[in-house]
Amino acid sequence: MISSLQQKLDAGEFVITAEVCPPKGSDCGEFLEKSSNLRGHVDCINVTDNQGANMRISPLAAAALLVQSGIEPIFQITCRDRNRMALQSELLGAAALGVVNVLALTGDHISFGDHSQAKPVFDLDSVQLLKTISELGEGRDLAGNPLHGTPHFYVGAAAAPEAEPFPLTLFKLEKKVSAGARFFQTQAIFNPEKMRTFRDAVSHLNVKIIAGVLLLKSAGMARYVNAHIPGLSVPASIIEELESAPSPIVKGVEIARRLVGELRPFCDGLHIMAMGREELIPEIIKEVR
Amino acid sequence: MIVSKQKPFDEILAALEESRKIFLVGCAKCATVCKSGGEEEIWQMQELLASAGKEVTGSIVIDEACHMLRAGRDLRGKKEMVAESDALLVLACGAGVQSVSAASEKKTVAGLDTMFLGNIRRLGQYEQKCSLCGECILTETAGICPMTVCPKGLLNGPCGGMQDGRCETDQDAECAWSQIYNRMQSQGSVDNLKKIVSQKDFSKILRPGKLKIEK
């Protein structure tokens, strides 16, 4: 199977991806409904992997259900909960179930989530995971054994454009690309100027950039994000806007829509994180669709 | 040094519930430095046990409780007091406790929680810098261990949670990779960061670890 995400990006088409969080529980009805409602609006749906270190249904199961429904997922896989054997067998499973896009991540630390007493794995890091996916794509596993059936993925990695010291981050981004990453999905970004700087800094890597946009639902959420979500920084002016708005959610959509427009010149696509309000995504992206 | 701390006294007491006569064992090395099982703590424990209605038949601070022969010999030196007791309460690391449990048939109660191999910043302040991974990479990482100092043990650079050189798990802690980067900059060896570091060989530290030096 061929990744339509890859085809579109390779053809220079601007793409929109959206994050939909799989359920805590085995009922995927709402997850599939939310995802289906985005059909025609977004090109791919990112299925998060125990996001924020909170235990949820396997992203592989959720991604496979999307494939069955004719929706192309980006299967997010982190190193936090699986050793190298589990990562590889999960990836083989994903390929067998028709998953074609993978976002390879280190994963939030276990202490952030709802199972803080669990053993963090981190047998591999994201660069080693990307190399592992490349190895699998060459028809062999990490131990060098040949595979019966070779998985071919369009592989992405995360990038944090606002992380400082940036030169240090850049070393790692370069490694991610040489280990096989073909696109970056960035952390949510609120400062378009930072996006421009980031694009220029990674232009030599010849990698597609999908910029992250987070829907801020209230000033309280913006403050929470600043205090608790690593790598994100909402400027005071945006918090002020949300604070003084009669309807924070309407204002939040307006801010996201504005960011979409401002970020567009500096990226190859946008990744919308609506945090449960996925029905607002069409409104957020209407000017770039 | 092996860093340990005493379990809460009510937990110790609960573990000793069916034992009235107690023999106390401490360690003159790490547990003494950590103030968890030296002479002073043994004496304090004796007072606490007495006020809880226990009888302490005797005590010993073994010079190095992890040394199995020495622990056995020292316990034999206090044979009667040990024999008189219902249980041995050991204020030493997990290795020390097991030297004692191997040397005596008596019920052995672990009074400490053993935490990590630690450096001493100053007395009473200990930090883990080495996680005993079996394959030292410090030469390649400017003398700072990312296996240990990075909570995720990342070998190829910082995660996306680094902010202004701080760690996502602790705003007061400097990111291990930021430390390594700064050190490499001052040593002129930043190019080392370009090399992809392969996955770790965890077969080097399969448990239980064993080493026998051949002559």
Q: What pLDDT is recorded for position A228?
A: 85
Q: What pLDDT is recorded for position B76?
A: 97
| Fold of the domain spanning B2-116 | Rossmann fold (3.40.50)
Burial of A84 (0-12, 13-18, 19+ CB in 10 A): buried
Partner A contacted by B159 (CB < 8 A): yes
Instruction: Among A51, A83, A109, A126, pick the best mutation site for testing chain B contact (most B Cβ within 10 A).
Output: A109
Q: What pLDDT is recorded for position A134?
A: 98
Q: What's the pLDDT tens digit per position in A170-226?
A: 999 999 999 999 999 999 999 999 999 999 999 999 999 999 999 999 999 999 999
Partner B contacted by A189 (CB < 8 A): no
Instruction: Among B140, B152, B189, B192, pick the best mutation site for testing chain A contact (most A Cβ within 10 A).
Output: B152
Would you call B160 and A159 a contact, using CB atoms and an 8 Å cutoff?
yes
Q: Is A228 domain-assigned?
A: no
Query: Can you say how many angstroms the Cα of residue A180 is from the centroid of all Cα atoms in its chain?
Result: 16
Q: What pLDDT is recorded for position B194?
A: 96
Q: Is A261 domain-assigned?
A: no
Average pLDDT over residues A46-52: 96
Q: What pLDDT is recorded for position A152?
A: 97
Q: What pLDDT is recorded for position A231?
A: 81
CATH number of the domain to which A182 belongs: 3.20.20.220
DSSP 8-state symbol, A139: T
Average pLDDT over residues A38-47: 97
Average pLDDT over residues B41-67: 98
Q: What pLDDT is recorded for position A274?
A: 97
Would you call B196 and A127 a contact, using CB atoms and an 8 Å cutoff?
yes
Handedness of CA B175, B179, B184, B185 (dihedral sign): positive
Q: How many domains does chain A have?
A: 1
CA distance A228 to chain B (A): 9
Q: Is A259 domain-assigned?
A: no
CA distance A164 to chain B (A): 5
pLDDT band at B138 (very low <50, low <70, confident <90, very high): very high
Partner A contacted by B173 (CB < 8 A): no
CA–CA dist B168, A141 (Å, integer): 32
CB A15 within 8 A of CB A43: yes
User: Which A residues 56-95 touch B at CB under 8 Å?
Assistant: 79-80, 84
C-alpha pair distances (Å), A60 with each of A47, A98, B112: 8, 10, 42
Q: Is A241 domain-assigned?
A: no
Q: Is the pLDDT of residue A120 over 90?
A: yes
Could you tell me the residue range of the domain that residue A95 belongs to? 4-216+266-283
CA count, 13 A, side-chain hemisphere, B106: 31
Q: Is A131 domain-assigned?
A: yes
Q: Is A21 domain-assigned?
A: yes
Q: Are strands A269-273 and A15-20 parallel, antiparallel or unpaired?
A: parallel
Q: What pLDDT is recorded for position B7?
A: 98
Contacts of A178 in chain B (CB under 8 A): 196
Average pLDDT over residues B123-131: 96
CA count, 13 A, side-chain hemisphere, B149: 22
Q: Is the pLDDT of residue B215 over 90?
A: no
Q: What's the pLDDT tens digit per position in A247-269?
A: 999 999 999 999 999 999 999 99
Report how far apart the first and last C-alpha atoms of chain B are (Å, whole number).
Answer: 27
As beta bridge partners, residue B125 has B122
Mean pLDDT of the residues in chain B = 97
Q: Cβ contacts of residue B59 below 8 Å, gap of 6+?
A: B23, B24, B25, B26, B42, B46
Q: Is the pLDDT of residue A1 over 90?
A: no
Q: Is the pLDDT of residue A64 over 80?
A: yes
pLDDT band at A8 (very low <50, low <70, confident <90, very high): very high
CB A273 within 8 A of CB A19: yes
Backbone angles phi, psi at A69, to 5 degrees: -90, 5
Q: Cβ contacts of residue B171 below 8 Å, gap of 6+?
A: none
pTM: 0.96
Partner B contacted by A247 (CB < 8 A): no
Whole-complex ipTM: 0.94
pLDDT cut 70: percent of chain B above it: 100
Query: Boundaries of CATH 3.40.50.2300 in chain B?
Result: 2-116
Q: What pLDDT is recorded for position A217?
A: 97
Q: Is A31 domain-assigned?
A: yes
